[in-house]
Amino acid sequence: MIATLASVVAQGRAQRSIETRFAGADVRIGGDRPWDIRVHDERVYRSVLLAGSLGLGDAYVAGWWDCAALDECFTRLLRAGLDEARWSPADWWIELRARLANRQRPSRAREVAHRHYDRDGELHRAMLGDERVYSCGYWARATTLAEAQTAKIDLVCRKLGLRPGQRVLDIGCGWGEAARHAAQRYGVEVVGVTVSAAQAEAARERCRGLPVTIIEDDYRALGGRFDRILSIGMFEHVGPRNYRTYLRVARRLLTDDGLFLLHTIGGNRTAATIDLWIDRHVFPNAVLPSAAAIASAAEGLFVIEDWHGFGPDYDRTLMAWHERLMAAWDGLGAAYDERARRRWRYYLLTCAASFRARKNQLWQIVLSPRGVVGGYAAVR
């Protein structure tokens, strides 16, 4: 009886604590606005207090709570800074582990490929489109997702000043669309590298008949010399302990008069970890680099020629992915049950909120080994 009473009291304290924090972000528990939360299972409160963002996300996937406009809910929570507090033992543990060990060392580099990129091929095609470009689109003059992704890849090619006959390296080539575009439209020879077996196979098929070579390997093992290097949406998997190594590899592979374009999500603060729910269920070992971390890693290796930010475009990209995926969900097959649907919905909409709240950024950074003679002409 005493134990039951203590549990009820603890549950009440947890509920009041969560309700107070969320109310400060203009999110009401039991409210009737689209961004308010409806609780179906009272265990959600203790789950959040004990496991922070991991507990909140897992409770959503379990169906313990709902929200009509999940993206707007999290936009408010993030703008209020609720992500900045370490709420739980789980948050502290992953932070400590990241600071003590290199979670992106070569022996673990393929974990994200095995757990994310090598799986869900049918789902990725439904969400991303046939080209399967899994990075932020460029919406300046685009009206559709396909146009935005083509515009982004072409923007990269134009920023690098690609010309026929050049040798280009694509670090983290994904399913090969950037390599195909560069070879087909600009007449360059491309070497693409990925740690994902499934991506490598698909990229080879996509680029069949073009001067494109796809390698399944870690970036640290690469050799050769290249006139241009591009890396789109891969640096988020490199990790703080390896930023300097990554840029040293790029410098070693790049000709003295070459250019390197780094396209990456960025965070406003230097961190050793990513959101715990994203780390556990979507991108293991990922970390978003800060501007300070990138600049520090590049010091003495590269001249920063251009730094272009268009983070709000990722909000629009993620919302387009969510719309496509939810529209196609019922046709994906029995393996994609209701829990999986809620997991993917939570991932896409909370990430969209992170860009809408300006917590996350999207940067394209052009680097040169010695500085472009006469200056670099920025391309938009």
Query: Which positions are catalytic?
Result: 351
DSSP 280-307: HHTSTT--PPBHHHHHHHHTTT-EEEEE
Burial class of 378 by CB neighbour count within 10 A (0 to 12, 13 to 18, 19+): exposed
Kindly state the tokens that stand for 87: 């709420």
C-alpha torsion sign, points 133, 139, 142, 144: positive
CA distances (Å), origin 91, targets 48, 272, 277: 11, 12, 10
The stretches of 24-105 forming alpha helices (DSSP H) are: 43-61, 70-79, 89-100
Going by C-alpha positions, the residue among 187, 217, 192 that lies closest to residue 202 is 192
Q: Which residue from 282, 341, 309, 305 is spatially nearest to 134, judged by alpha carbons?
A: 282
Please tell me what DSSP assigns to residue 117. I
According to DSSP, the residues that pair with 212 across neighbouring strands are 190
* SS3 label, residue 5: helix
What the block records as the tokens of 27 is 């999110």
CB 295 within 8 A of CB 332: no
Q: Which of 214, 219, 251 is nearest to 235 (CA)?
A: 219
